[in-house]
Each structure stands twice: as structure tokens, then as C-alpha cells.
Chain A
Amino acid sequence: MKSTMVADPLRLFDCSPITDGAAAVIVAPLDRAREFTDTPIKVLASAQASDTITLHDRRDISTLDATVAAGQKAFRMAKLTHKDIDMVEVHDCFSIAEICAIEDLGFCRKGTAGKFTADGETALGGKIPVNTSGGLKACGHPVGATGIKQVYEIVKQIRNDAGKRQIDGADIGMTHNVGGTGATAVVHILRRA
């Protein structure tokens, strides 16, 4: 809370560090997946939405409409609701971005995600664990690799392979990746096949 001020009120530790990094997934037709792994993961939804690139042309600066649209689309594709999701990796490029994402994806009403987070509901053992990987801020933000790194974390969780940060009974996970300060948002829902 005392780190260097960057853009008021965001301080250095509110901002994700741009890092080097790499991540990969192997995508295969579901009926052939067991040729490659004993623990395949099914993609229940893959949704994308876009918005203006300029911040000043947006409807509301505390909502990413692309996230709202991609989230709703993903829930429809997967035929699931928020209650079915066990964990989510959100695009927390800044501390406020995590708060907005939790609200925009529908896990909280607008304006309540701050308290929800402070109350521990997004921690391990909370209602909806958010960013068990550490997210962009604590794990790093290797820009192009971040989206796949989120999928990696959800896969680890679903496979019960996440070690100390394992969520009990992790079955269905969501990832939320953003590009161009919210001009693009991509949401995935994954489950054990």
C-alpha cells in the first residue's frame, strides 16, 4: 500500500508486472483425447466479445462490456450458471480489474466485489476462489501467454494436481482473458471429460 504511485490511486503493486513466459495446451477432438492423456479436460464454452479500443468511447469506465457479453455467452454455451463454477482465473492486469471482472462475469453485483474479496470469498475455501495461480499480478503477465497460463491453472485444479493451492472438489473452472484494455474479452469454461 506504500509502493510507488503510478496512476492515482493505482500504486506499483496494484499493477501486473509484464514478464517473459510461455504456456501451451494440446487441443484434440474429445473422442481422440485419451490417446494423448489419461485425464482429458472438456471445453464446455469458448466465447469472445469486443468493444471500442478507446477507453473514452466506452459506455461505463467501471465495466468491461466485452467481459459481460463474453461471460453471458459462455454460460449459455455451457448451459451452466454461476453456482456451477468452482473457480475462476480472471484478467487482473490491475487490482481494480479483478474487482470489475468478478462483477462483470456476474459472480457479484456491481459495486460489491471489493467487500466480497475483502471478506475472503475469493480466497481458497471461499465461495468462488479467484486466481489461485496468483493471477497476472502475483504470477506475472507474459502478455501473449497469459490466457493459456490461465487454462493451465484450471486444468491443474481439475486434475487435483495443484498442490498447496488445490481447491477441494474442483470440477468446473472458468478463465477470463482481456486484450486491448477491454476491447476484446475471451471466456472459457472447462470441465473434466
Chain B
Amino acid sequence: MSVARFWRKIPQRYNMIGTKCETCHRHFFPPRSFCPDCRRNGRIVDHKFAGFGTIITYTVIHTANEQFEAFTPYVLAIVKLDEGPRMTAQVVCRPDEVKIGMRVKSVFRRIATDGESGIIHYGTKFVPTG
């Protein structure tokens, strides 16, 4: 199986599928198969995240490694999903547009490339909801 086909089998790689604990309603992304709060009393089920969140903090990357060079300058943010978990992801907007507290939603985008003839990495980025 090629790498790309293998990646498609990982639920949280291309889709925002995590888990939640039905006992305490805590959500996990990336998925956890065990609730660290409820432990043996936890009941973990899959959860499809709505993809909406708020920017907690951000930076603008100007000097990136080779894989991300094509995107510079780009916004890298910590996003708190409405369901609770936080993610680190790129935000697709102009660097002067981004603000702490900005509402964003997840989108499926090209993340990086392994050189001219290498594999293209896809995954989750965010865009402003406005």
C-alpha cells in the first residue's frame, strides 16, 4: 500500500474525527482511546468535530524549513475548538488580518510538499469564518 493510501486510513489525518468520553463529555483531538479523567469509568466513542474554533494565539512564520517555504509568510496558530481540544495549525489569511480571539473554521488543504517529485501532504488548516 502506498503511503498516501495508508494515510487515508487514519481517521484524524484528513477528517476531524476524534473521540469523546460519554461519562464526562470531554472531547479529544487527536483521538484518545482512554479518558484520563474517568479512567475505568470512561466510555469513549468517535466524535466528528464541527471544525469551528477560536484563535488563542498565533505567530507569522517568515523563515520556514524547505517543506513549508512555498507558503511564507504564513500564519501559524493555536486554535481552541468549540468542543474543547486545542490544535496547532495554519490559518489561511493575510498575516495582517489575524487576531487573537478570531473565529475560524477548518478546511482541507495542502500542508507541505516533499520536494518537486515527492509526496504532497494534505491535512487541516483554518480559515476566518467572517
Q: Which A residues are within 8 Å of any B CB, using their own CB?
A: 4-8, 10, 12, 54-57, 61
Q: In the complex, which residues of chain A have a beta carbon less than 8 angstroms from the beta carbon of B60?
A: 5, 7-8
Q: B121 to nearest A CB, angstroms?
A: 19
The reply to whether A5 and B62 contact each other, CB–CB distance below 8 Å, is yes
Q: Max chain A CB contacts within 10 Å: which of B56, B59, B61, B63?
A: B63
Q: Which residue of B lies closest to A57 (CB)?
A: B86
Q: Which B residues are within 8 Å of any A CB, using their own CB?
A: 56-57, 59-63, 73, 76, 78, 86-88, 95
What is the interface of chain B mostly: helix, strand, loop, or mixed? strand
Q: In the complex, which residues of chain A have a beta carbon less than 8 angstroms from the beta carbon of B87?
A: 56
Q: B60 to nearest A CB, angstroms?
A: 4
Q: In the complex, which residues of chain B have a beta carbon less than 8 angstroms from the beta carbon of A8?
A: 59-62, 73, 95
Q: In the complex, which residues of chain A have a beta carbon less than 8 angstroms from the beta carbon of B59?
A: 7-8, 10
The reply to whether A7 and B61 contact each other, CB–CB distance below 8 Å, is yes
Q: In the complex, which residues of chain A have a beta carbon less than 8 angstroms from the beta carbon of B76?
A: 7
Q: In the complex, which residues of chain A have a beta carbon less than 8 angstroms from the beta carbon of B78?
A: 55-56, 61
Q: In the complex, which residues of chain B have a beta carbon less than 8 angstroms from the beta carbon of A61?
A: 56-57, 78
Given contacts A4-B62, A5-B63, A8-B59, 7 further A-B contacts (CB under 8 A): A5-B73, A6-B62, A7-B59, A7-B61, A7-B63, A8-B60, A12-B63
